[in-house]
Structure 1
Amino acid sequence: MSETDKTQDASVGVDGAGAAGTAASGSAVAAVAAAAASDTVVLNPRDQVAIALRDIRAGETVDWSDGAGGEGAALVLRDVPRGHKLLIRPVAAGQHVNKFGYSIGIAKEDIAVGDWVHTHNLKTGLGAVLDYTYKPQSAESGAEAASTASFPAGQTSFRGYVRDDGEVGIRNEIWIVNTVGCINKTCETLARLASRQFEGRGIDGVFHFPHPYGCSQLGDDLTATQKLLAALVRHGNAAGVLVVGLGCENNQVDAFKKVIGDYNPERVKFMKSQEVEDELEEGLSLIGELVDYAERFVRTDVPLSKLRIGLKCGGSDGFSGITANPLVGRVADAITSVAGTALLTEVPEMFGAETILMERAADEGVFGDIVKLVNDFKDYFIRHGQEIYENPSPGNKDGGITTLEEKSLGCTQKGGHATVTDVLAYGEPSRKPGLNLVQAPGNDLVSVTALSAAGAHVVLFTTGRGTPFGGPVPTVKIATNSQLADRKKNWIDFNAGRLIEGMGMDALRDELLAQIVSLASGEKQTNNERNGFREIAIFKDGVIL
């Protein structure tokens, strides 16, 4: 077998069956539910590793069960931190090691039962750019996934804002978008002054998103900046937008207008700072006009089919793939089951699990778009002389994630089992309901910004490490473990760690869905909103003059 063939096998699992993704996910949920009183959990009968649910010390004996009749005990040979992997079946050097029922890498050496499995004895089994074959998912496996995707009975709508162009928002905010980083502080001052001046009016606030670009950029870089900022201008959460330029930048206001396309002049205003005598006075006057316009909008019942959710994981740990990510996958399935839209990105964190998504493509055209999405990102790494599989991050490794395929198999679970209906270029808005894949890297700030630009009204952000970051839209921080949720109450909005403490997946899914509807209806805020943490980051891949 060639190295490419080995790599292809590694990315689709031992049996190479696409339906195994559904089966592995289902058995993992059952295993987690049964592990509440245990020290370990085995996610799939094909796995050679158990996940430690607590710190386990060398010399202890732990019992394990794979939920399918396989069980045993292991004498622990060295300390295994909580969330890390413990070998339960012997593996020889060069053999694949399974978790989730799929390969997560190749043993560097013979590994004995009871040993800690991590970077010292496990390496990635992935290779370079691959060729893929179109193998659509069977109707039976799709039907099985759909059977668990229903939205809670009786819930058909949320209370949102319907804009003049038919776009929908869950907030009635004024956004200040600057064409160039040179005027970040001017726009920051404008947002602060306007927030005080228009407090109590019919808006949810005035916000500015600083960035360093728009000047001295060329070619694709400038285009990417313009597309991203234009997508934010069009976002439904913004009732009104003030676009502020300097006057001498590459991203000129007049050129930027063309990228925005058709716009309502009552909703979008423009100011060139070098051409006005007092940019603060002029800016506040224009924002006043936007506030007058925004006050026309009131919340009304909006079908759930109009809701778009972004899916992102940041600072993963050993519990991400067994608690928060599969929980978010269930939520994504529920949203898409009512013709809503789920947006999944972090393309480098699809490497090693990409065929699971490819087999769920709506048709061969979408399959081809997924292949291009994945291989173009690999080419991006190669073009810059970087190792394609230089992942996971130090924080991920500390939390128990060893290889990229392990991280990817956990990461892609956020997409649930829905059909992939579209693939979106960076800065491109979503148009088709269902699961959409969005071109962007794994970086938290860049990818959440890209999800917002694609139209996400809210982003579900799973984390095992924690972060205070928030994007332009409400960013729901979902902890993978209860320790994090208890320790960082000002960061975390939802605790998925309860899944390994006895709470059922369906009950937790319904609770999270209810929280999302409440957020979308303006009844609640996320911690990032309450704390004023709103940031953007723009993807860069070119020359700055």
Structure 2
Amino acid sequence: MPKESWIILSSADNVAVATAPVSEGATVGSIVARQKIDPGHKVALTDLPTGTPVVKYGQAIGRTTMDVKAGEHVHSHNLHFENDRLGVTATAAPEPASEADRARTFMGYRRADGRAATRNYIGVIASVNCSTTVCRAIAEAANRTILPHFEGIDGFVPIVHDQGCGMSGTGDGMTILHRTLAGYARHANFGGVLMVGLGCEVNQLTLYGQSGAGSSKRHFNIQDAGGSRRAVERALSVLREIAEEVGQARREPISIKEIIVGMQCGGSDGFSGITANPALGVAADLLAAAGGTSILSETSEIYGAEHLLRSRAVSEEVANKLDERIAWWENYVAMHGASLDNNPSPGNKRGGLTTILEKSLGAVAKGGRSPLTAVYGYAERVTAPGLVFMDTPGYDPVSATGQVAGGANVIAFTTGRGSCFGCRPAPSIKLSSNSALYAAMPEDMDIDCGTILDGGHTISSKGREIFELIIETASGRKSKSEEFGYGDNEFVPWHLGATL
């Protein structure tokens, strides 16, 4: 068995990760595999008596539930979640940006309020689920009849959802929905917005401010327009006026410090924390060093690794905000009779991930090594540069929706199993953690990070490649998900509170 078929991630680890299929009886040094080990899965490097902490990435990921012999497969059958935290291990300095990096620009759109955009869309936003069908019909008709006359507009995007009525007008549910929709309505990648309501819903259009002729943000209710068909006709008339204004925008050089990247991982496998996530972390470090912003999220998927982020907080206030969000999540899942360890999905486990602690230690690698400068609530507007954290669920569409509402103008999404995702108005870049996935889904994956495993690239060089693609994408290069047409169905605001 060649040496490169196994990888040990830290000198403190008592398990290794198979980088290629390992057959029973194969050896590496003094280790003899006692059964077949699939790529991405763990093998014991030493005997592990019952109750022994299993250590990967230099951190505990759980404890053994039975005696495990050196060379045995370590997974759900003999490892279970236990909320251990080991001491914070020393980490190297973040990837530095050169003076040339700090002087870099991308070709973006400068909005009237000074913000920078990476795309030039027009949004058709539903205030309530009742106006969803009409908003889709409006966007479809506008893309068919108006868009061909305006080369500078990327498209008309329906932003639709299943909330807005049958809920309390106060409390967390309405606060989050309103903040999310308001974030999309003001998003820099929308040159103009039309918001459409029904008229009798809880989430009234008046909550979003009044705007009229001459404004790129307008709204009306279907009931006031005289019904669905007339609402579409009225909307097209309004959108033609908006398009005249938005279609005049042109790309111009803008400093990369105005790029805001929302970082996601979905369909993770045993390689995600070894290849794609740390490579994205390098790109995040480069962007932070150049003055840009990267948003790490998915609170339920950094659980067990939050102490590594906390140790990098720029102040105790920032650290305490992170602690508060972790405590909220512990109470939230307990209230519903669940555990944060329920998070790893069947696909995650088939890919080699056993516990939430293991998944989190790999997920947090997306944040690189830069200082943590701020912690935000879901869909709050992000204003701090550098690495920031936004509290979101681990469910990718909900998490990315919050990041875009907060201002992310690019999404970078790592996957080991093959998540398909778009997030208009923000372009979504897909990064595969293994080369088999990249070969199997070449029209969905933008970068193959699996080349790190075979020595073709280092984490640092692959991170630089991701950094360059982020800049190119911000400048207008279409991602694979954009080419396929993803992005109209992935707007999913976090649903909290009672349905009444």
Match of 1:431 in 2: 383
Distance across 2 between alignment mates of 1:36 and 1:161: 51
Match of 1:508 in 2: 462
Distance across 2 between alignment mates of 1:146 and 1:264: 49
Match of 2:432 in 1: 479
Distance across 1 between alignment mates of 2:431 and 2:50: 37
- AA aligned to 1:482 is S
Match of 1:22 in 2: none
Q: Which structure 2 residue ranges, 5 or more long, are not aligned?
A: none
Query: 1:59 aligned to 2:25?
Result: yes
Q: CA deviation at 1:200?
A: 4.1
- AA aligned to 2:460 is D
Q: TM-score, normalised by structure 2?
A: 0.94
1:194-273 to 2 correspondence within 5 Å? 194-198=142-146, 199-201=148-150, 202-218=152-168, 219=170, 220-257=172-209, 266-273=215-222
Match of 2:291 in 1: 339
Q: Could you give the per-residue CA deviations for residues 147-190 of structure 1, whole angstroms, max 9, x where no partner exists? A: 54558658611011111111111001101111001121111111
- Structure 1 window deviating more from structure 2 (508-517 vs 298-307): it is 508-517
Aligned residues: 489
1:36-75 to 2 correspondence within 5 Å? 38-61=4-27, 63=28, 72-75=29-32
Q: Could you give the per-residue CA deviations for residues 29-85 of structure 1, whole angstroms, max 9, x where no partner exists? A: xxxxxx996111111111111111112122222x1xxxxxxxx33111111111100
Match of 1:111 in 2: 68
1:78-93 to 2 correspondence within 5 Å? 78-93=35-50
Query: 1:172 aligned to 2:117?
Result: no
Match of 1:160 in 2: 108
Secondary structure of the 2:496 match is coil
Distance across 1 between alignment mates of 2:45 and 2:203: 58
Match of 1:185 in 2: 133
- Asked if 1 retains the 8 angstrom alpha-carbon contact of 2:183 and 2:405, the reply is yes
Q: CA deviation at 1:389?
A: 2.2
Match of 2:56 in 1: 99
Distance across 2 between alignment mates of 1:200 and 1:227: 33
Q: Could you give the per-residue CA deviations for residues 288-318 of structure 1, whole angstroms, max 9, x where no partner exists? A: 1111111232111111111100111001100
- Call closer, same or farther: CA 1:89–1:499 in 2, change over 3 Å: same
Q: CA deviation at 1:376?
A: 1.0
Secondary structure of the 1:330 match is helix
Secondary structure of the 1:50 match is strand
Distance across 1 between alignment mates of 2:103 and 2:358: 35
Secondary structure of the 2:450 match is helix
Identity %: 35
1:455-474 to 2 correspondence within 5 Å? 455-472=407-424, 473-474=426-427
Distance across 1 between alignment mates of 2:264 and 2:110: 26
Q: TM-score, normalised by structure 1?
A: 0.86
Distance across 2 between alignment mates of 1:461 and 1:150: 25
Match of 1:312 in 2: 264
- AA aligned to 2:193 is V
Distance across 1 between alignment mates of 2:3 and 2:431: 23
- Asked if 1 retains the 8 angstrom alpha-carbon contact of 2:272 and 2:415, the reply is yes
- Asked if 2 retains the 8 angstrom alpha-carbon contact of 1:179 and 1:252, the reply is yes
- Asked if 1 retains the 8 angstrom alpha-carbon contact of 2:23 and 2:36, the reply is yes
Distance across 1 between alignment mates of 2:372 and 2:427: 24
- Asked if 1 retains the 8 angstrom alpha-carbon contact of 2:212 and 2:218, the reply is no
Distance across 2 between alignment mates of 1:115 and 1:153: 46
- Asked if 1 retains the 8 angstrom alpha-carbon contact of 2:281 and 2:463, the reply is no
Distance across 1 between alignment mates of 2:205 and 2:322: 34
Distance across 2 between alignment mates of 1:468 and 1:265: 38
- Asked if 2 retains the 8 angstrom alpha-carbon contact of 1:53 and 1:83, the reply is yes
- Asked if 2 retains the 8 angstrom alpha-carbon contact of 1:152 and 1:510, the reply is no
Match of 1:494 in 2: 447
- Structure 1 window deviating more from structure 2 (479-488 vs 148-157): it is 148-157
- AA aligned to 1:217 is M
Distance across 2 between alignment mates of 1:456 and 1:36: 43
Distance across 2 between alignment mates of 1:344 and 1:279: 39
Superposed CA RMSD: 2.2
Q: Could you give the per-residue CA deviations for residues 391-448 of structure 1, whole angstroms, max 9, x where no partner exists? A: 2111111100011110000000000111111111112110110111111100011011
Match of 1:10 in 2: none
- Asked if 2 retains the 8 angstrom alpha-carbon contact of 1:37 and 1:501, the reply is no
Distance across 2 between alignment mates of 1:265 and 1:427: 28
